[in-house]
Amino acid sequence: MKKREGIRNIAIIAHVDHGKTTLVDQLLKQSGTFRSNEHVEERAMDSNDLERERGITILAKNTGIQYKDTKINILDTPGHADFGGEVERIMKMVDGVLLVVDAYEGCMPQTRFVLKKALEQNLTPIVVVNKIDRDFARPAEVIDEVIDLFIELDATEEQLEFPVIYASAINGTASTDAEKQDENMQCLYDAIVEHIPAPIDNSDEPLQFQVALLDYNDYVGRIGIGRVFRGTMNVGQQVALMKVDGSVKQFRVTKILGFFGLKRMEVQEAKAGDLVAVSGMEDINVGETVCPVEHQEALPILRIDEPTLQMTFAVNNSPFAGKEGKYLTSRKIEERLLSQLQTDVSLRVENTESPDAWIVSGRGELHLSILIENMRREGYELQVSKPEVIVKEIDGVRCEPVERVQIDVPEEHTGSVMESIGARKGEMLDMINNGTGQVRLIFNVPARGLIGYTTEFLTLTRGYGIINHTFDSYQPMAAGQVGGRRQGVLVSMESGKASTYGIMQVEDRGTIFVDPGTEIYEGMIVGEHTRENDLSVNITKVKQATNVRSANKDQTSVIKKPRIMTLEESLEYLNEDEFCEVTPESIRLRKKILDKGEREKSAKKKKYAEQS
């Protein structure tokens, strides 16, 4: 079978923070794709502000580099399981993968997750042991771990014969020898050209192009990014779009864009094996096939991971509504959520009985919190409810999502971690002690037990523990209460400014969340109670001034530093009767019912209903 020897299509897969994006940077720089005077930022592929700040890849990105006579199309994939839908579809577009593994950390949960997807597609792997320059790097053991993982995931004989490259992406060096590094990454380019199969050249057959990713542009509308599996596509060609629902639409290809470095350049035609972006289709979706009008033959539809977590997004109705945001109305929020659906295929948005609230479902807390963070940066103001897992009925049994959790902790904390996971209905699968003082624990835990667990985990391990989890499967619901917050909260009973005197009066009742001088309103959560019940407090109280001097007047009042929570921590912290109010300036926690008397009535009614 004829091959297109001048092309290689690869995806770079790895666990979070093992150096995928930095490796792509070096491959781009060393291939001569950029001019010598062109300034290239670090982690050039992470173009979004949030990706840069957090050092994670959220959206898959494509780039193309020229090495000698070969064009190498590279897809940099997200490492987080929350964006697993992206990874799975990308595997369909490529012929091989670079599996990047940290020379010290070895195989992690997401390594397993992404490799499983790659092996299922029969892709050819190359293993890159990155960060070889790290202290305590252990390349030999890591390669053994990788081989064990391949065997466990039922890799074929050919897949087990993978080449290994030892690299330091940050220094831009690589070699085939773990002991010494070459001065550049030449050996990695050579391995890609030699081991990754070239795409089959069937350009003379009828066209088949499948969309795996979506982009959106205000000028041309939706852009479908995918691979030409067969045939040739030309600008101006009239083609048929085979929709997911079985219908067929015709349209004209207005633009074809190829990937060169970080730029997209217009090309006149794309042949079998090319990865391109196509515009001209109004409502193209992931998994749909573009083919000739006279030869309609669809490729198998791509499976998209179902959402596992949902939250209610609502219009902000707190006393401070409209003070800090630009977009507040239900129309604006709905428009923004619907525009997110244009490119994010793992997201679902459903209407509720109220015109001011929507149920938004996603792949996990990170997936949804990144959407909320992007919205607040764009000037939106909204309030969101506690994240809840999506329960499914499978063969008449109620089932919930279960996560595979991998925990690395110092030996002395293993007991308390095992006890806390046990309380959340976790089931232990494995415990590995390599004699280094660090223990690796592997569990299956219901996803609802993990909501809000990170804070407790970091407290238990004094910040030394590392926790990673990835979706495993749907399993029958565990009986009883799983997870959730144990502590009650301190709720403000007055509106006004928090005062130092007011905070000092209630400090011994719990942990305070606000600084003195912060504007607060009745019903806002201002701290965590030391007990399990909620407590109404007044932290706006000001000390009465008198003309009587006290003996200890020279003593300065010192208050403890408040606990300021990030957006993710705030979402994890919520209970069923609470909202998180999100504005461009602030993140506030509040009770759904602000009035103390109304709240108590509602709680009594609920208790009465449960008893009867």
Question: Does the annotation flag 133 for ligand binding?
Answer: yes
Nearest-angstrom CA–CA distance, 316 and 325: 10
CB 421 within 8 A of CB 403: no
Strand order, beta sheet including 489-492: 510-512, 525-529, 489-492, 535-537
* pLDDT band per the 50, 70, 90 thresholds, residue 314: very high
Mean pLDDT of the chain: 81
CB 235 within 8 A of CB 189: no
Which uninterrupted H or E stretch holds 114? helix 109-120
- Give φ, ψ of 67 to 5 degrees: -125, 110
Rg (CA), the chain: 27
Beta strands in 7-130 (DSSP E): 7-14, 61-67, 70-76, 96-102, 124-130
Question: Does the annotation flag 20 for ligand binding?
Answer: yes
* pLDDT band per the 50, 70, 90 thresholds, residue 36: very low
Nearest-angstrom CA–CA distance, 32 and 45: 16
Mean pLDDT calculated for residue range 51-56: 43
Nearest-angstrom CA–CA distance, 55 and 19: 10
pLDDT tens, 321-341? 989 889 889 999 999 998 888
Nearest-angstrom CA–CA distance, 577 and 92: 43
Buried b / exposed e over 188-227, threshold 16 CB at 10 Å, is: bbebbbebbebbbbbbeeebbbbbbbbbeeeeeebbbbbb
pLDDT tens, 150-192? 888 888 888 888 888 888 888 888 888 877 778 888 888 888 8
Question: Does the annotation flag 22 for ligand binding?
Answer: yes
Question: Does the annotation flag 9 for ligand binding?
Answer: no
3-class secondary-structure state, position 70: strand
* pLDDT band per the 50, 70, 90 thresholds, residue 74: confident
CA 49 vs CA 55, 56, 605: distances in Å: 10, 11, 46
Instruction: For residue 185, count CB atoms less than 10 angstroms from its CB and return exposed for 0-12, middle for 13-18, buried for 19 or more.
Output: buried
Question: Does the annotation flag 29 for ligand binding?
Answer: no
Mean pLDDT calculated for residue range 14-40: 64
- Sole residue written with tokens 């349209």: 251
Domains and CATH numbers, the chain: 7-195 (3.40.50.300), 208-292 (2.40.30.10), 392-476 (3.30.70.240), 489-544+558-577+593-611 (2.40.50.250)
Spatial CA neighbour of 363 closest among 405, 307, 313, 311: 307
What does the block give as tokens for 539?
A: 């932290």
Task: State the pTM of this model.
Answer: 0.74
| 82 has a pLDDT exceeding 70 | no
Question: Does the annotation flag 538 for ligand binding?
Answer: no
* pLDDT band per the 50, 70, 90 thresholds, residue 46: very low
Question: Does the annotation flag 17 for ligand binding?
Answer: yes
